[in-house]
Each structure stands twice: as C-alpha cells, then as structure tokens.
Amino acid sequence: MACTLLILASNSVLAQDIQVLSWWKSASEHKAVEVLSTRLRQENIVWHDVVIPSGGMEVSVALKNRVLAGSAPDIAQLKGPLIGEWFAQGLLSEFKPIPTTPKDIGNLTGKWDKQLFPTVGELVRPNGHLVAVPLGIHRMNTLFYNRRVFDQLGLRTPETWEDFNQAANKLLQKGIVPLAQSSEPWQVASLFETLVLSESSPEFYRRAFVKKDPSAFTDIRFGRALMRLRMLKKMMPHPLKEISWMDAAKMVTKGDAGMVMMGDFAKGEMNASGLTTDVDFACAAAPNTSNYHLYSVDTLVMLTNSALRPEVADKIAQIAISTTVQTDYNVIKGSISVLRNADQIRMDSCARNSWKVFSRGSTAQAPSLVNDMATDSLSKDAILAEVVQFFNKDALSIADTQRRLATIMRSLPKNKSGKMR
C-alpha cells in the first residue's frame, strides 16, 4: 500500500500535458510514437501531437515562427547540425535524466556516452551538453523489392547495378514498372544521395556534402551519380507524378512496381499495413552500398521558453532511451536502436544488417543530406535545387550541372566544425 501511494505521489509530481511538434504523419510513425506516448502516460505525462505534414524544413520554419511569437511547443523534432545551431543561440534546454529505480542507477541514465553509438552521442551532445533525445537510426540507402514478384520471375537480390539492370529489364518485359519513384523534390534528392554513395565512398560523400569541397562536385564520381540518376529515370513510372513516399512503397507491395529505393521507414509502413518482411517484400542495401550506412537520426529537443518542467523533461529522456521503448519504437518505425547494446532478438533481417553496418563506425557511415544530417539548411537547399532541376530537365548536361554546383559551393559558408557528421 505504501509503495502504491509513493508511485501515485511520484506520478502526480510529474503530471503535465506536453505539446510535441513533428512531421510524423504515416500509420507506422503514429504507431511508433504511441509506444513512447503510452509509456509517458503511465507517468501522467500526456503527449499532444502538433503535426506539420509537409516535412522537416517546414517544421523548422514553423518552430522558428512559434519561438519568435512566444508560443514555443514543449518538445520538437529537430535533426542534425540544426541541434547545435539552435543550442548555440540559447534556444534549447539541457536534459539531465535522473534514475527513478535502483536498476536505472549506473545503467542507462547518466552514461549516455557509453550507451549510445558515438555518432549519435556526438550529435545530441554539442560541446558536451545533452540537448537532444535520440529515438532511432534510419538507413536511407535501402532497396525494397516485391518478394513474390521476384520469386515468380526468378530474380535475385540486386547487389550490383548489373544485377539491378537485369531485374529491371525482366520487370519491363512483364509490364511492371521497375522502380517506384515520386517527382517530389526531397524524394528525388534522397535517391540521388544514395547514388553518390554508391558511386564513391563515405569519405567522398562527406567531402561533398559535409565539407562542401567544390572539387568533389566536378569529380567523375559525382558525374557518374548524375548519369545514374538520368538512367534510372527511364525505369520509373511514366508520366512521373508527385506522390507520397507511402504511396511509392505501396506501388511495390501491390506489385505495380518491382523495386523502390527509400529510407527504411518504408519497411515500417509496409509492416503496419499487415505485410511481412522477407515474405511479402524484402530489403537490401542499394546496389554497391552494402558496406555503407547512409543515416538519419530521429531526435527530440526541449525549447527554452516552453512550459515544460525540468523534471518532466528528464523523465521523458530517461524513458525514451530505455531498452524496452527503444526496441518497441524501432521495430515499428523500421529503424534501429540508438543503443550500442540493443536487443537484436526482435530485429528482422533488414534491421540486423542495418545495425551491423552502422556498428562499424564512421568509415561505414554517411550523414543524409536530405534529412538534415550533413550540413546547414542553406547549403542543403542549394544542392537539392540543382539536382532536382537536372532531374526534371533532360536538356541540362551533366558537366554544366557539376560546374554550377561547384560554383555554388565556393559561395557558401563552410561548416564551422571540421568534425565528421
């Protein structure tokens, strides 16, 4: 009885409604968030979604507007270098997770630097200050294909571009679109960053998109990625329309398309619709990228002028990186845990491979440009604009596009930190 009263008293102290600004809108994203929000409700912390459905950049703009208007949300989705930039401006508060049970002491809480992958730990602790809570790691260079269609046609998993082209030709012969794709700019750019990685290496990728070295953009490897993008366009639906990433994934699961290159959040959506990995669909690394991990890390931040009480924020942080929440959240989301000692028992083949490659460290990792992991928003937008224009206008030459990008890079500010992101 005394223990029950103590728990109730603890919950009443933590009791608070929190407002969370994000771009999570799909079925799988909602189910994944429900894992965290359900656990928080047990502590009398009630999560209220404020969803900006159009995506990450719009969330950043909406967040800035609300901060300027004095109506900042309590928690917001913020990613990559923006975390450090917002903290440097005094807009983010620190999390200081505290143990609530003896089991927590010396385990997860207070030892994030040992529990998190180094890349994640560096991301959420700019200058040693814990200002973001990591939820999961997505692999963007993932190829999904319809397992049943591939089996019927005797096709093997495309590991190289030669494999991919052979599969694409057989799919075309059967009247099936080889590659599902949207003309939505961020999806085109997402495909392209995977192609840059497939034609080079994580080191070259960072040289281009993190260091913004002009010579990288005129390099033959960057030119090959542009050529590959143009070649793949012939394997996409005609006419190419602007559809959501969820609909692009559905094209594959319905058999309207054989393959799609997408972040592994697509797997979460396929699973949420009742389909099973390795039965209805399968996944592998995009051609020539099996040893690389093009990553995006989901993170939450706490705004300085929000009404969120510190002890509530600390409890949110503690719960978010608990082994149970990490496992349940990432199984649904399609991502992998941010914990180095993650529970692999419930990981499917796609997740285990993602976790294995990411575990190799920085030599295998490349930060997603499209998902705000590589550089500032100005640089990202400038690069994406040129890539999308090249994709849409067949008359534009590869050489001219490379020269324009190199010129733009010379005019952009360099990253203040020389560290790899």
The number of residues in the chain equals 421
Mean pLDDT for 99-119 is 63
Please report the domains of the chain, with CATH numbers, ordered by start residue: 2-136+297-358 (3.40.190.10), 142-294+363-367 (3.40.190.10)
- Higher pLDDT: 292 or 415? It is 292
Strand ranges in 97-191 using DSSP code E only, listed in sequence order? 132-139, 142-146, 177-179
Distance CA 26, CA 267 (A): 12
Distance CA 412, CA 382 (A): 9
Mean pLDDT for 4-18 is 58
Query: Which range has the worst mean pLDDT, 2-11, 76-85, 230-239?
Result: 2-11
Mean pLDDT for 393-406 is 98
pLDDT exceeds cutoff 60 at 129:
yes
- Higher pLDDT: 124 or 110? It is 124
pLDDT exceeds cutoff 80 at 421:
no
Query: Which range has the worst mean pLDDT, 134-138, 167-171, 339-343?
Result: 339-343
Q: What percent of the chain has pLDDT over 70?
A: 90
pLDDT exceeds cutoff 50 at 9:
no
pLDDT exceeds cutoff 50 at 362:
yes
Distance CA 366, CA 364 (A): 7
Q: What is the structure's pLDDT at 418?
A: 38
Bridge partners (DSSP) of residue 49 are 20
Q: What is the structure's pLDDT at 306?
A: 81
Q: What is the structure's pLDDT at 290?
A: 98
> Alpha helices of 175-235 — where are they, by DSSP H?
185-198, 202-209, 214-217, 220-233
- Higher pLDDT: 289 or 114? It is 289
Tens of pLDDT, residue by residue over 209-239, are: 999 999 999 999 999 999 999 999 999 999 9
Averaged confidence pLDDT in the chain: 89
DSSP 278-347: TTTEEEEEPTT-TT-EEEEEEEEEEBTTS---HHHHHHHHHHHTSHHHHHHHHHHHS-B-SBTT---TT-
- Tell me which H or E stretch contains 396: none
pLDDT exceeds cutoff 70 at 54:
no
Tell me the C-alpha to C-alpha distance, in Å, between residue 373 and each of 77, 201, 234.
Answer: 13, 17, 30
Backbone angles phi, psi at 289, to 5 degrees: -130, 20
pLDDT exceeds cutoff 70 at 416:
no
Query: Which range has the worst mean pLDDT, 2-11, 207-216, 400-409?
Result: 2-11
Q: What is the structure's pLDDT at 95?
A: 86
| pLDDT grade for 58, boundaries at 50, 70 and 90 | low
| pLDDT grade for 70, boundaries at 50, 70 and 90 | confident
pTM: 0.92
- 102-130 burial: b if 16+ Cβ within 10 Å, else e: eeeeeebbbebeebbbebbbbbbbbeeeb
